[in-house]
Amino acid sequence: MDNFLKWLMSGNHLAYASSLLTFCCLTLFGLGSFIYKKYLVRKGELFISPTFNTKNITYMGIMIACSVSVTVVISLVAPITVFPPIRVAFEGIMIKITGMIFGPIIGLIVGLITELLTMLFIPSFIHPAYFIVAIGFGFWAGMASFTFKLKSKQQWITITIITLFIIAATAFLYNTLQHLRTDENGNVKLFGIPVKKELIPMLFIIMMGVLLLICYIMCGIFVLLKKQKWLEIILPIFLICIVTEILITVLTAAWGDAGLLTSNTDDGYISMVALRVVQIPLKIIFNTALLSTVYSVLRPLIKK
C-alpha cells in the first residue's frame, strides 16, 4: 500500500488516477444504463436512450451555444479569459447546469463539445487535462443530480452523502499526501519555496473541516428559518460543487495548470494542488451561490 501511495505522489500520477476514476465510473454507468433499459424496461427492445429526444437535443444545442458564446464574449471584454483555468471555470457553469438537469451522459457530451468549440474561438494552451475537466463537470454533476429528487425530509440523505464523501476524500488524500517526495531537509518545494511536508496534509484537513462546518451551519440556518424548500436546491448543488471541486478541479485541473504555469518538475503538480486546496471553501461557496441562482432561473423554463 505504501508503494502505491508513493507512486501516486510521484509526477502527475494522482491526476491520472482521478481521471481514471471518472472514466471507470462513466463506463459502469453506461453499462448499467444499457442493461437496465434493454433487459429490465422492455426486454428484447433495441436500446435507444429516451434522453436523446428532439427536445433534449435542442436544449443541448442551446446550452452549448450559451456556454461558448458567454465565454467568447467575456474573453473580448476581459482577455484574461484566454487563460485556461479561467476559461474552464466560465464554461463549467453551463456544463454543470446541463448535467444537473439532463443527467450525466448529456452533461459530458455538452462539456466535451463546449470545450472543443471554445478552443476554436479562443485559441489557448491545449492540454488533455482541460478536456477531462469539461467532461468531468458534466458527468459528476449529472451523477449527483439524483439528490434533487429528495424531498425536504429526505435531505438527511444528501447531508450524509456529503459527510461521507468529505471524510473519505480527506482520509485518502491525507494518507496519500504523507508520501510526498522531500529533499534532504524533509521539505517539499511549492513554487520553489521549501515547505514542511506535514503542512500540506494538515492544510487539507483544515480546509475540508471548514467545508463540512459550512455545510452544517448552512443546514442549521435554513432549518431555523423554516426554509427547508431551499435545502432541496442548495444541498444537491453543494454536493455537486464538492465532488467536482475535489475530483476534477483540485486533482485533474492541477495537472493542466502545472503544464501551463510551472517547469516540467515533480513539484509543479503538487504546487498547483496545494494552491487549489487553499481555495476550496471560498470557491465552493461562490459556485454554490452562482449555480443555485442559475438553476432556479433555468429549471422552471425548461420544465415548461
pLDDT in tens, the chain (304 residues): 666 667 676 777 888 888 898 899 888 888 887 777 766 655 444 444 445 677 778 888 888 888 888 777 877 777 676 777 777 888 888 888 888 888 888 888 888 888 888 888 877 777 888 889 989 999 999 888 888 888 777 778 888 898 999 888 888 887 777 766 666 666 666 656 677 767 777 878 888 888 888 888 888 888 788 777 778 888 889 999 899 988 898 888 888 887 777 665 556 777 777 778 778 888 888 888 888 888 888 777 766 5
Going by the DSSP 8-state scheme, the letter that residue 77 receives in this structure is H
- Report the pLDDT value the prediction gives residue 137, as an integer from 0 to 100: 92
Q: Is 112 helix (H, G, I), strand (E, B) or coil?
A: helix
What's the burial of 264, exposed, middle or buried (CB within 10 Å: 0-12/13-18/19+)?
exposed
How high is the pLDDT of residue 43?
46
Tell me if residue 190 falls in helix, strand or coil.
Answer: strand
d(CA 70, CA 167) in angstroms, rounded, equals: 36
> CA–CA separation, 125 vs 260, rounded Å?
7
Q: What are phi and psi of 195, to 5 degrees?
A: -135, 140
d(CA 182, CA 202): 16
Rounded to the nearest 10 degrees, what angle do helices 254-261 and 266-303 cross at?
130
Cβ(281)–Cβ(210) under 8 Å? yes
DSSP state of 152: G
Q: E-assigned strands of 1-71?
A: none
Q: How far apart are CA 101 and CA 115, in angstroms?
A: 19
C-alpha dihedral sign at 97, 285, 89, 79: positive
Residue type for position 246: I
- 151 by DSSP, 3-state: which? coil
DSSP 246: I
